[in-house]
Amino acid sequence: MTDTVEDVEMPYDEGSASRQEKIESLQDELDVLESQNEEMRDKLLDANAENNKYQQKLERLTHENKKLKQSPLFVATVQEITPDGAVIKQHGNNQEALTEITAEMREKLDPDDRVAVNNSLSVVKKLEKETDVRARVMQVEHSPDVTYADIGGLEDQMQEVRETVEMPLEHPDMFEDVGITPPSGVLLYGPPGTGKTMLAKAVANETDATFIKMAGSELVHKFIGEGAKLVRDLFEVARENQPAVLFIDEIDAIASKRTDSKTSGDAEVQRTMMQLLSEMDGFDERGEVRIIAATNRFDMLDPAILRPGRFDRLIEVPEPNTDGREIIFQIHTRKMNLASDIDFDELAEMTPDASGADIKAICTEAGMFAIRDDRTEVTLDDFLEAHEKLQQDDESGADDSLAFA
């Protein structure tokens, strides 16, 4: 039976309270109860939200636990597609098996595809092509900020590089009209610091092709076959992203003259070079992939890598002459605050044996002398002192090398 007003305990003294006071007291009590009810409703909503969050976490952990308990999938290569299914070869044990495949999977698969198979050797899914992640990392995403305008004294070399690398990619029709095959590779050789790497950077900046850079020493590995595999993957990445330019710096690290050495290290380097020769001028078409290589030790290179078809142009990058040094000084001082007494012709005359890298070092050192004297203007004396300091450093380095020889 529902309680009446008389059965409810009132928050006032019935004898002394008036009717209005009773109503106000009941209203206050009702407000309190409504507030408490609203608070409990909010707590219930929070509890439901927390419960949903934990429920989702439980489902995720249950799913992950189920996946961890599943048997691992094995990697295999499709050898052949037949009416009865697919012939696959497992990696590791090289066992071959004929397994049935679904109609949907049959449309996706081709010979040499990598697939994942379960314990019963059923094809579960198709995998991406195997390409060494190190080869992917060597792909340059952002063009260097070096342009041909930043290179001085190498006008003839720049012209030959552009004809060999850029023109076949940008104007292949010109070579077709003339009836010749575009050069496929260019080798830059010369003393250190003469601008070989800068030429490659300028090519990367000027062309819209994919640019892949690496050093020859990165292809030298300890275990048999690793270097050759990386070479294959590099050219595979280049072919997938053609037109492409592949730059190999310090190529003498893997392309030195072959000897009768029986050590495992020398044998592995020679195997890597054989793979490089095969990729450069092998049975398979290389496509729109141009190669630039650089070395300081031209005399160490194997004759096999120098023949036409691999490197069609051998470009010597010499130390700059007087006019070249003057241009290089002007390039490296473009952003410097120079005094009016600077004579670039005099600077070029006083540095007869300086390379481009040496001139850049002289300009930087001259700026440091100005900063040391708390000046914002670089004078001719700063350049003279910088040249003298670098000469002393070179002589000191030569003496130290003799002392430890």
Give tens-digit pLDDT for 367-380: 998 899 888 888 88
Whether 100 and 122 have beta carbons less than 8 Å apart is answered as: yes
Distance between alpha carbon 220 and the CA centroid of its chain, in Å?
19
- Rounded to 10 degrees, the C-alpha dihedral 102/103/109/111 comes to 90
Question: Distance (Å, rounded) from C-alpha 117 to C-alpha 87?
Answer: 12
Cβ-count burial of 190 within 10 angstroms (0-12 exposed, 13-18 middle, 19+ buried)?
A: buried
For residues 179 and 103, state if they share a domain.
no
Domain termination site, one of 316, 331, 349: 316
For residues 194 and 149, state if they share a domain.
yes
For residues 178 and 287, state if they share a domain.
yes
Closest CA to 356 of 158, 142, 140, 213: 158
For residues 94 and 15, state if they share a domain.
no
Please report, for the domain that includes residue 198, its CATH number.
3.40.50.300
For residues 98 and 53, state if they share a domain.
no
Q: What is the pLDDT of residue 1?
A: 45
Neighbour tally for 182: CB within 10 Å = 19
pTM above the 0.75 mark?
Answer: no
Structural domains of the chain, count: 4
Residues in contact with 166: Cβ distance below 8 Å, sequence separation at least 6, in sequence order? 203, 206, 207
Is the pLDDT score of 54 beyond 60?
yes
For residues 261 and 339, state if they share a domain.
no
Please report, for the domain that includes residue 117, its CATH number.
2.40.50.140
The CA-atom distances, in angstroms, between 373 and each of 109, 249, 332, 340 are: 72, 40, 21, 18
Least confident span in 40-49, 229-238, 390-399 = 390-399
> Token digits for 87?
């012939």
For residues 285 and 174, state if they share a domain.
yes
Question: Per residue in 255-267, pLDDT tens?
Answer: 877 776 666 566 7
For residues 64 and 98, state if they share a domain.
no
For residues 274 and 156, state if they share a domain.
yes
Question: Distance (Å, rounded) from C-alpha 145 to C-alpha 153?
Answer: 19
Q: What is the pLDDT of residue 138?
A: 61
Is the pLDDT score of 5 beyond 50?
no
pLDDT-based confidence at residue 2 (cuts at 50, 70, 90): very low
- Host domain of residue 14: 1-68
Angle between helices 356-372 and 380-403 (to 10 degrees): 120
For residues 306 and 398, state if they share a domain.
no
Question: Distance (Å, rounded) from C-alpha 78 to C-alpha 87?
Answer: 6
Question: Distance (Å, rounded) from C-alpha 196 to C-alpha 211?
Answer: 16
Where helices occur in 70-126 by DSSP H, the ranges are: 103-108
Where helices occur in 195-225 by DSSP H, the ranges are: 196-206
Whether 289 and 246 have beta carbons less than 8 Å apart is answered as: yes
